[in-house]
Structure 1
Amino acid sequence: MITTSGLTKRYGRVTAVDGVALRVGEGDRYGLLGPNGSGKTTLVRMLLGLVFATSGEIEMMGEPVPRRVHRVLPDVGALVEAPGLYPHLSGRANLAHLDAAGPGGRRGRRARVGTALERAGLGGVDARPVRAYSLGMRQRLGLAAALLRTPRLLVLDEPTNGLDPRGIREIRDLLAELNAAGTTLLICSHLLAEIEELCTHVGVMDAGRLVLQRPMGEVRAPTGLVAVRTPDAGRVRALLDGRVERHDGERLLVRAADAAELNARLVRAGVRVLELRPERRTLEDVVLSVTGHGSDRPA
């Protein structure tokens, strides 16, 4: 779906994107993470043909970008930074205006606009101008604009910005539904918990470089430790001589290749096991381990 090779963007002496080799497969839910100024937005702009690369190559849906971006964009929905809206028009009028610039024609426009608003949670929107919308409503309207033509690829930059927890959950469910129906997702976000919950693949940028790119299952692989909670912590330490890595009250971290075997051993020894589960790294742990540069770069 998306492939880049050596993709680089320089602004004078500043390298905003540095040799990025991005791989987004068809059907992926790809989360792109990184500190402020790490180059995420510049990368997305190049993918959409909004900014020209200094060097490197981009291929989207089998077409070179930006040379043939006009063949690709009809199948792409995008919400990059703040949605570009006419503040004096209503949300419905804004979408009708955007739809008129597309290939759909007047026939079916009302239905397309209504469906997009409904899917973004704005089905009951009234005629008030967009300048009276809250930040969350503007964000929903931007998402509705990206959904006007049922895109094969949806590129979203901070799609849940300004939304309350219920709104975040609704948008997450909508994106999962779109993906299940065949839409590939590329999502830039600072909300690690949302990326961890939704995405199948993750990329992490730092100082313009793509420093990590893996399936989410690999990123959150077991650490080889098992967390055990028991009121018999002292007995566990004695029983598992040298295998307890950490002990904090009733909670212990134990080196163990097989959690089920460990549980059976503890139970046979009469240990009261309240909780036992393999320890996994969080996405936050992984991101912090591969980033660390400053954020004084263009985004």
Structure 2
Amino acid sequence: MSAVISTRGLVKRYGRVRAVDGIDLDVQQGDVYGFLGANGSGKTTTVRMLLGLVLPTSGEVELLGGRMPRAGRRVLPRVGALIEGPASYGHLSGRENLRLLDASGRGGPWRTRSARVDAALDQVGLGGAGRKPVKAYSLGMRQRLGLAGALLRRPELLVLDEPTNGLDPQGISEIRELLLDLHRGGTTIFLSSHLLAEVEQLCDRVGVLDRGRLVLQDRIPTLVAPTGSTVVHSPAPDRVRALLDGRVTAVEGDRLVVRGEDPAEVNALLVGAGIPVTGLALDRPTLEQVVLAAAGTSPDRVEVPR
């Protein structure tokens, strides 16, 4: 696979403040990459540099193999993007806004513009509201319209900044399914969010930004891989500890962590000694634990599922 987004030592300063501090992003073709961080951590600034909307203070950005912003004219027609709040003309309908957005012709021939616009509106669930003035749209509908604009060119790469902002739970679920369907069709997705639950349900790789620094970047299955221990739940923790002397590394009530990644072996030892077991599983960290440990932050800075 080839790199779709690559940055090296990317820095953005505003006066003495380093909004982005030397990050090295690596997004491969076919990824659904979650760019996770608290509000104010530098995510949007980074995304704007990726697209050539903000010039970095130092460092390099490559997008679809082209050095940005120099290669912008060549590579940006292959990119769909929704950054911050979607822009629109309130007095015009959603359909008219998309027709204006597609006026450059980069999405395809003008003869098929109406069909492209209608298809994009249908994709995001706005097919029945395309003729309504955008000033009458809810925040969630405006967000859907912005996403429709990002899809007009049938992009190879989709860059989204908080795409479910303002959507109700049903809308979030619908957008999630849409993005997964686009990914199955070959689109690489870069999703910036402060919502861990959103990233966990959509993404296969994650990068975590904290105060402008990239503190974590890896595949999610790798981050939540088993630790090499087994979690045992037993109403007789003292007996478990006595039997497995030296192998018990943590005890919390009836929950014990035992060295050894074969639950069947641990269970056989305990049952053979007549010790009751009410639960048994491989020990593995949650993504929440991994992210909070890497960011050195608290759940009020990165929103985690409850």
1:48 equivalent in alignment to 2:51: yes
Q: Evaluate the alpha carbon distance shift between residue 58 and residue 272 of structure 1 in structure 2; reply closer, same or farther with a 3 A threshold.
A: same
User: Please, which of 258, 263, 267 is the counterpart of residue 263 of structure 1?
Assistant: 267
Secondary structure at 1:221's aligned position in 2? coil
Distance 2:232 2:170 in 1: 33
User: Please, which of 174, 184, 199 is the counterpart of residue 170 of structure 1?
Assistant: 174
Per-residue CA deviation, residues 9-56 of structure 1 (Å, 9 max, x unaligned), is: 111221111211111111111111112221111111011010011111
Contact 2:261 2:282 in 1 (8 A): no
Contact 2:121 2:130 in 1 (8 A): no
Cα drift, residue 213 of structure 1: 1.1
What letter is aligned with 1:10? R
Give me the identity figure in percent. 62
Secondary structure at 1:280's aligned position in 2? coil
1:145 equivalent in alignment to 2:145: no
What letter is aligned with 1:94? N
Distance 1:137 1:266 in 2: 57
User: Please, which of 272, 277, 284 is the counterpart of residue 280 of structure 1?
Assistant: 284
Secondary structure at 2:159's aligned position in 1? strand
Task: Map 1:159-198 to 2 at 5 A.
Answer: 159-198=163-202
1:27 equivalent in alignment to 2:30: yes
Cα drift, residue 220 of structure 1: 1.2
Distance 2:235 2:293 in 1: 33
| Ranges in structure 1 where 5+ consecutive residues have no aligned partner | none
1:133 is matched with 137
Q: Which has the higher contact order (CA 8 A, sep 6+)?
A: 1
Contact 2:156 2:187 in 1 (8 A): yes
The answer to which of 123-132 and 209-218 deviates more is 123-132
Cα drift, residue 196 of structure 1: 1.4
What's the TM-score once normalised by structure 2's chain length?
Answer: 0.89
Distance 1:125 1:227 in 2: 52
Distance 1:179 1:232 in 2: 48
What letter is aligned with 2:136? A
| Ranges in structure 2 where 5+ consecutive residues have no aligned partner | none
Distance 2:125 2:266 in 1: 48
Distance 1:27 1:42 in 2: 24
Cα drift, residue 105 of structure 1: 3.0
Per-residue CA deviation, residues 198-236 of structure 1 (Å, 9 max, x unaligned), is: 211111112211111111122112233323334555543
What letter is aligned with 1:112? R
The answer to which of 5-14 and 221-230 deviates more is 221-230
2:12 is matched with 9
Secondary structure at 2:6's aligned position in 1? strand
Cα drift, residue 292 of structure 1: 3.9
Distance 1:245 1:232 in 2: 16
Secondary structure at 2:228's aligned position in 1? strand
Distance 1:44 1:126 in 2: 29
Q: Evaluate the alpha carbon distance shift between residue 88 and residue 286 of structure 1 in structure 2; reply closer, same or farther with a 3 A threshold.
A: same
User: Please, which of 72, 87, 90 is the counterpart of residue 87 of structure 1?
Assistant: 90
Cα drift, residue 247 of structure 1: 4.2
Cα drift, residue 159 of structure 1: 0.9
Distance 1:251 1:233 in 2: 7
Distance 1:126 1:44 in 2: 29
Q: Number of aligned residue pairs: give it.
A: 295
Q: Evaluate the alpha carbon distance shift between residue 119 and residue 266 of structure 1 in structure 2; reply closer, same or farther with a 3 A threshold.
A: farther
2:117 is matched with 113
Distance 2:140 2:49 in 1: 26
User: Please, which of 256, 261, 265 is the counterpart of residue 252 of structure 1?
Assistant: 256
User: Please, which of 128, 132, 136 is the counterpart of residue 124 of structure 1?
Assistant: 128
Distance 1:275 1:238 in 2: 18
Distance 1:33 1:125 in 2: 32
